[in-house]
Amino acid sequence: MRRVRIVGLLMLLAACGRGAETTTTTGPAPSTTTTTSTTIAATTSVPATGWRVVDVAADDVLNVRAGPGVAYGIVHTLAPDATGIEITGNVAGIGSSMWVELLIPGGTGWANARFLEPVDPAERTVVENELARAGSFATGGPWEVTGVPSNDVLNVRLGPGVSYSIVDAFAPDATGIVSTRDVARIEGSTWLRVVTDMGGTGWSSGSFLRSGSAGIRASSAPCDPAAAGYSLSGVLGQRAAAGTARTVTGLDWAAHQVGGVECERFVVSLGSGSMGRATVRHQSDFIHIDLPDVIQVRPEATDLGITGGLGLGAWVVRSASGDGHLFVNFHLDGDAFALVTFRQRPAQVVVDIIPGIGPPSSILRPVVGDFLVLGRTLSLPAGTQSYPFEVFGYARTFEATVVVRATSGGAPVVLGYTDAAGSGSASEFATTAADWVDTWGEFRFRITSGPTGSLTQLFVGEQDPRTGADLGVTTQFVAS
C-alpha cells in the first residue's frame, strides 16, 4: 500500500521572494481570529495500485494533465482499458469534479476521477474523505493572511503545491482575499485557488489563510447624512503612513435615502493590502483621491458611470507626475458636501456625499467622450476665460497622443500653449497622456494666448487612422 505523504513540520520559506508555502498539519500560527485550518490524521492510506479507466470510448483516451483541471496542458494519456494505475493520494475539487494525481512515466499528472475507479470501491471513499478535509476552505472566502513574517510574502502558484511556479504573492497583512471554491489536498495540506489583486487566479496554501473581511459595499452599507465632518471644499482626509495596497480592484456607488435625506456612497477598493498614503480633496466639481502607493488597476475597474445622483462618474487615472501613481477623480453632477473615511482591512476609501447649498449651474461638469474626458468644460456659466488658463483631462487615445485643435467660425485660430514638452503657438498641436494601455492617462496643458472676445471651439482627442474622422470631445470658450 502506498501512503499519502504527510507534512510533519512547519516550513516557512525564507524571505528574498520565496514566500510561505507549507505548514504543519496542526494549522496556522495562533491568532485571536478563529482559523479555518483543519487538523488531519497522522497517516492516510491510499492504494498503490488497483485503479482503472472507465467510461472512455474505445477510440478515445483519458487525458492526464499538468494540474487539476482542463486549463492545464496534457502531459500523458491513458488507454480506455488501462488498469493498474497508481495514485499519489493528492486530490483536488475543481468545480463539481474531483481530480486525482497519478504516477505516470517520468513523474506525475492529474486526471478527472469521473473516468477512474478502483477495484475496491472503498478505496474511492478514502480519496473522497481526503478531499473533504479541505472543509470550509471551499466556501470562497474572504480570507486574510496569517502566520507569515512581516518581511515575507504568501506565494500564489500556478498549481496546488510547491512544485508549481510562483505567479503572484500576497503581502503578510493581506486581507479581503477571495477564492474560487476550488480546493486541493497536497501531501496533507489544503491549497485553494485564490483571486489575485489584478483579477487572475492561482493557488496558495490554506495553512496561511484564515477567515477575513470582504470590506463594505456601497449598496449594503448606507452612509449617514447626519455624521459630523461633511465639507464643501478643501482636504477631506489624509493618510501619511505607508501601506501594502497597490491595486485599484473596484469602484462602487449607491444612493440611499436616510431620514428623508439623499445620501450617496462611493467606495474605492484597493485590493488585499493595507491602506497606505492618501489625500482626498474636495475640488468643488469633483472629489480628487490621490493614492501615491497605488500603481495598478484591474481592467474592469478603470471607470464607473453614474446616472440619477449627485455623482456623475469616476475615473482611475495614471498621474502625469514622475512616479506614475494612480488617482481617482469622482465627478459631481451638483453641489455637494462630502465626507471621507479610510478603511484598513481591506483597504478602502469611502466617500459619502449629501446635497450642498449651491445651484447645479455652479458645477463645471466634465466633457465625456469614449476615449477622452475633459476634466472641466471651458464654457463658463458666467463671464469669460482669462489667459492663461489650464485644460486637463484623462485619455485612452492611441499611443497616448492627444490632438488639440482650435477654430472660430469654422476657421483655424492660433493659440499659444505650454505643456510638459515645452511651449509653442499653433492652431493644432499634440500633447501626451500618462497612460493609455492600462487605464486613463492624465494630460495637462495651458492656453497662454489666443483670440479675445469671440467664441473659440476647442477639439481635444484623436483622429481615426482609417477614416481621418475626429474622435474626441469639443468644448468652447470666450477669452479676454
pLDDT for residue 49: 54
Is-contact 113 89, C-beta < 8 A?
no
- What percent of the chain stands above pLDDT 90? 75
Where do the structural domains in the chain lie, given as residue ranges?
Answer: 2-40+135-211, 45-132, 234-365, 368-478
10 vs 366, higher pLDDT: 366
Backbone dihedral region of 199: left (phi > 0), alpha (psi from -120 to 50 degrees) or beta?
left
Q: Which of 29-33, 209-213, 241-245, 323-327 has the lowest mean pLDDT?
A: 29-33
30 upstream amide cis, omega within 30 of 0: no
pLDDT for residue 40: 29
Distance CA 144, CA 137 (A): 12
pLDDT for residue 32: 30
Same fold flag, 45-132 and 368-478: no
309 vs 301, higher pLDDT: 301
Give the closest residue to 67 by CA, choosing from 113, 112, 109. 109
Span 268-274, mean pLDDT?
92
CATH code, 234-365: 2.60.40.3470
> Is the pLDDT at 251 greater than 80, yes or no?
yes
Distance CA 64, CA 111 (A): 5
Span 60-83, mean pLDDT?
97
pLDDT band at 14 (very low <50, low <70, confident <90, very high): very low
Span 294-318, mean pLDDT?
95
The tens digit of pLDDT for each residue in 340-361 reads: 999 988 999 999 999 998 766 6
pLDDT for residue 259: 86
Show the CA angle centred on residue 148, arms to residues 146 and 154, nearest 5°. 95
pLDDT for residue 360: 66
Distance CA 4, CA 110 (A): 16
Q: Which of 10-14, 102-106, 201-205, 345-349 has the lowest mean pLDDT?
A: 10-14
Distance CA 337, CA 251 (A): 20
> Is the pLDDT at 39 greater than 70, yes or no?
no
pLDDT band at 103 (very low <50, low <70, confident <90, very high): very high
pLDDT for residue 383: 64
Give the closest residue to 205 by CA, choosing from 317, 437, 38. 38
> Is the pLDDT at 163 greater than 50, yes or no?
yes
Distance CA 118, CA 1 (A): 13
C-alpha cell at 10: 512547519
> Is the pLDDT at 11 greater than 50, yes or no?
no
C-alpha cell at 211: 477567515
Distance CA 246, CA 335 (A): 31
Span 307-313, mean pLDDT?
90
> Which CATH number is correct for 45-132, 2.120.10.30, 3.30.300.30, 2.40.50.70, 2.30.30.40?
2.30.30.40
Span 156-161, mean pLDDT?
97
Distance CA 98, CA 118 (A): 14
Distance CA 9, CA 401 (A): 57
Phi, psi of 115 (to 5 degrees): -110, 20
Residue labelled with grid coordinates 495514485 = 87
> Is the pLDDT at 25 greater than 50, yes or no?
no
> In this structure, which amino acid lies at residue 37?
S
> Is the pLDDT at 17 greater than 80, yes or no?
no
pLDDT for residue 150: 92
CB-based burial of residue 159 (10 Å sphere; 0-12 exposed, 13-18 middle, 19+ buried)?
Answer: buried
Is-contact 315 303, C-beta < 8 A?
yes
**Measured between alpha carbons, how far is residue 280 from residues 32, 245, 264 in Å?**
33, 17, 17
Q: Rounded mean pLDDT of the chain? A: 88
- Within 27-121, residue ranges assigned H as helices are none
The yes or no reply on domain 2-40+135-211 and CATH 3.40.1160.10 is no
Span 58-73, mean pLDDT?
97
pLDDT band at 139 (very low <50, low <70, confident <90, very high): confident
The tens digit of pLDDT for each residue in 446-474 reads: 999 999 999 999 999 999 888 889 999 99
Distance CA 454, CA 48 (A): 89
> Is the pLDDT at 18 greater than 60, yes or no?
no
CATH code, 368-478: 2.20.130
pLDDT band at 108 (very low <50, low <70, confident <90, very high): very high
DSSP letter assigned to residue 292: T
pLDDT band at 379 (very low <50, low <70, confident <90, very high): confident
- What percent of the chain stands above pLDDT 70? 89
